[in-house]
Amino acid sequence: MAEPNRQIRKLAQEDRYRERVNRLKTILGVGTITPMILLTELVEIARFKTAEQLASYIGLIPSERSSGTDEDENFTDITPRSHPYLRSILVE
């Protein structure tokens, strides 16, 4: 398992990833592997027009059940639709 991690860390130092990885690593608890998973799985974040679209793609939007009136709205757990790798690294 150490060799794949070394290769990912080496890839993270390439020009196409370095700046974005370093920016993401400023988040408390984020190392090198998490940003690399995010960057390689999302490829181009600009394809999402809003943060809500991105969160929905990852699977971090709560599901909602409602009958059409405000008092009947009921937010449940996060939606089961998700990107398996991205959701798991962000939830952890």
Residue 89 reports pLDDT greater than 90: no
Q: For 15-59, how does the pLDDT look when each residue is reduced to its tens digit (9 = 90+)?
A: 999 999 999 999 998 999 999 988 988 888 889 999 888 888 887
Quick count: other Cβ atoms within 10 Å of Cβ 21?
24
pLDDT of residue 13: 96
The rounded mean pLDDT for the chain is: 80
Q: What is the mean pLDDT of residues 5-9?
A: 93
Backbone angles phi and psi of 83, in degrees to 5: -90, 115
Instruction: Output 78-86 pairs: Cβ under 8 A, ≥24 positions apart.
Output: 81/56, 82/58, 83/41, 83/57, 83/58, 83/59, 85/37, 85/41, 86/37, 86/38, 86/41, 86/42, 86/57, 86/58, 86/59
The verdict on pTM exceeding 0.85 is: no
pLDDT of residue 63: 59
